[in-house]
Amino acid sequence: MKQKAISVVLVASMLLSMSGCALFDKDDKAVLAAAEEYASAVATADVDTIVSLSADGEETELTSYIEDCMDDKQMGDVFDAVLGSITYEIDSKSVVSSKKDGSASVDVTYTIPDCEAIYKDVASSGGSLSDFAKAVEDDDGDNTVEISQTIKFVLDGKDWLVKDKNDKNLSEVYEFFGMVAVLSVTEKYAQAVIDLNPDGFKDLTTYDYSSEFDTFFYYYEEFGKPELKEIYEAIDATLSYEIKGSTLSVNGNKASIDVVFTEIAFETVYNDVYNAGGNTDDYLEAIKNNNGANTYEITQTLIFELIDGKWLIDSDLYDLYTVYDYYDDVEYYTWPTSTSFEPITMAYFESTLSSTLGYTAKEYFEDLYCTAQYSDNNLKICIFQQYDLKHASEVYNESYYQRFQDILSKGAFNGDYDYAFNGTEGYIILDGYINYDQGWFNHNGYMYGGLFFTGDVFVVVLAYTDDYFAQYQVDTFLQAIGYPTP
């Protein structure tokens, strides 16, 4: 009996000893406290606390990136709205800890706004990032996602620190930072485009295109036709954009999204005005009074790359020139021209040539006509005085009007043109490439200017080059004598 009592005592002692070891090896309470502090820091993007609770104890590329995002004023309201809506729950029953092994784990579930769904809803009605921030704040929890994770800890002295290899857990929670950052860059870029402000997007792209666009606008500002500047400004004022939220894709360090630029359908408006016999003034008024009736869209897909913590546009921005096509096209528009322009005398021709361009004409007298002309390699400005109207009409019809029709029928001219002939008056104005070997049109290359017939007088003013200065001289002389320019 005594022996049996001793055995019972020994067994109980051994069980107590084993239970005591397991009891003292666990540190669940401390692990749960660390998990609470860490989850709270994650939910509020408290980077300093996250770093201090990390086993590495140093900022990573992700935590540094988050800090930069939080400092961006444009994105600040959005982040505040999202972070203010994040909640979390720690599953205390899932905790596992061992001081001996120096490891522990616990499950946590974050509930965060479904940023992608909310933004796409906002974007579908033309909303911006500021509208997105308000939508997050106003959401009643209908658009949320849950992210369940197992937080792993290692024991460092008496402290339990989080072990998150390659910031895998943090990246999952903070995916919305990349989305918002991409949208922010997109908004800045699109706004700079419609503001015609290259400096506005020079820090948003992998390659600095700003100087090239500066040169593009400088050309038209300094050398463009003065009478077209108001037209450019009127078309500029019609530019707008929409970010297509449904196309947003963020995958690691790559992202993409479509931006749709809308502007007046300037060519459609031009055709309407032209067919109605209008001019540049009528065109300007039609643009100003369009009220969105004639527009078209240009879709640009922006490709992004995350470089050194910044989302940069890596697209070929030369596609952007399509938004500004009107600068080049409008410059070369021709307009219906009345044939009722006055004939000029040789004396007026010569004095105008001298006063406008500083050139002196040489005079020639032949049996059928007399002429005065100035010419060099690129430019020819002439006047012909025919001996009677009947002969002049026949010459113009055969040598100019019908020949130009022949050029067009053979596809020997590529560019803009306008021409007319009513038997007593006519004109041909053109701006483009010609490949023809007869008469005044004998040229293989660029031709800019006009050939005019009124009364018994012919006036020919042509530049045989696309050089801007030569074309400027053509325009200057034609405007001085009151004749239409190309």
Three-state SS letters, the chain: CHHHHHHHHHHHHHHHHHHHHHHHHCCHHHHHHHHHHHHHHHHHCCHHHHHHCECCCCCCHHHHHHHHHHHCHHHHHHHHHHHCCCEEEEEEEEEEEECCCCEEEEEEEEEEECHHHHHHHHHCCCCCHHHHHHHHHHCCCCCEEEEEEEEEEEEECCEEEECCHHHHHHHHHCHHHHHHHHHHHHHHHHHHHHCCCHHHHCCCECCCCHHHHHHHHHHHHHHCCHHHHHHHHHHHCCCEEEEEEEEEEEECCEEEEEEEEEEECHHHHHHHHHHCCCCHHHHHHHHHCCCCCCEEEEEEEEEEEEECCEEEECCCHHHHHHHHHHHHHHHCCCCCCCCCCCCCCHHHHHHHHHHHHCCCCEEEECCCEEEEEEECCCEEEEEEEECCHHHHHHHHHHHHHHHHHHHHHCCCEEEEEEEEECCCEEEEEEEEEEEECCHHHCEEEEEEEEEEEECCEEEEEEECCCCHHHHHHHHHHHHHHCCCCC
What pLDDT score was predicted for residue 301?
Answer: 92
- Decide if pLDDT at 16 tops 50: no
- Bridge partner list, 451: 428, 460
CB atoms within 10 A of CB 348: 14
- Decide if pLDDT at 409 tops 50: yes
- Distances in Å between the alpha carbon of 361 and those of 121, 235, 350, 410? 70, 41, 6, 35
Lowest model confidence (mean pLDDT) among 20-24, 250-254, 480-484: 20-24
Under the banding of pLDDT at 50, 70 and 90, the label for residue 337 is low
Under the banding of pLDDT at 50, 70 and 90, the label for residue 191 is very high
Under the banding of pLDDT at 50, 70 and 90, the label for residue 432 is very high
What pLDDT score was predicted for residue 15?
Answer: 46
What pLDDT score was predicted for residue 365?
Answer: 62
User: How many angstroms separate the CA atoms of 410 and 456, rounded?
Assistant: 30
- Decide if pLDDT at 298 tops 80: yes
Under the banding of pLDDT at 50, 70 and 90, the label for residue 292 is confident
- What the block records as the tokens of 445 is 């290359």
- Decide if pLDDT at 366 tops 80: no
Mean pLDDT, residues 188-214 taken together: 87
Lowest model confidence (mean pLDDT) among 40-44, 205-209, 360-364: 360-364
CB 206 within 8 A of CB 314: yes
- Decide if pLDDT at 13 tops 70: no
- What the block records as the tokens of 482 is 């009151």
Mean pLDDT, residues 60-68 taken together: 86
What pLDDT score was predicted for residue 5?
Answer: 45
- Decide if pLDDT at 280 tops 80: yes
What pLDDT score was predicted for residue 346?
Answer: 85
What pLDDT score was predicted for residue 482?
Answer: 87
What pLDDT score was predicted for residue 423?
Answer: 79
- What the block records as the tokens of 384 is 């012909």
**pTM of the entire predicted model:** 0.65
Pairwise pLDDT comparison (388 vs 461), residue with the higher score: 461
Positive or negative: CA dihedral 42, 47, 53, 59: positive
For 438-484, write each residue's pLDDT tens digit. Answer: 887 888 999 999 999 887 888 999 999 988 899 999 999 998 998 88
CB 332 within 8 A of CB 486: yes
Pairwise pLDDT comparison (404 vs 336), residue with the higher score: 404
Pairwise pLDDT comparison (38 vs 202), residue with the higher score: 38
Mean pLDDT, residues 307-314 taken together: 87
- Decide if pLDDT at 121 tops 70: yes
Mean pLDDT, residues 105-113 taken together: 95
- Distances in Å between the alpha carbon of 299 and those of 184, 258, 366, 473? 18, 7, 61, 39
CB 182 within 8 A of CB 75: no
Lowest model confidence (mean pLDDT) among 49-53, 314-318, 446-450: 314-318
Under the banding of pLDDT at 50, 70 and 90, the label for residue 213 is confident
Under the banding of pLDDT at 50, 70 and 90, the label for residue 226 is confident
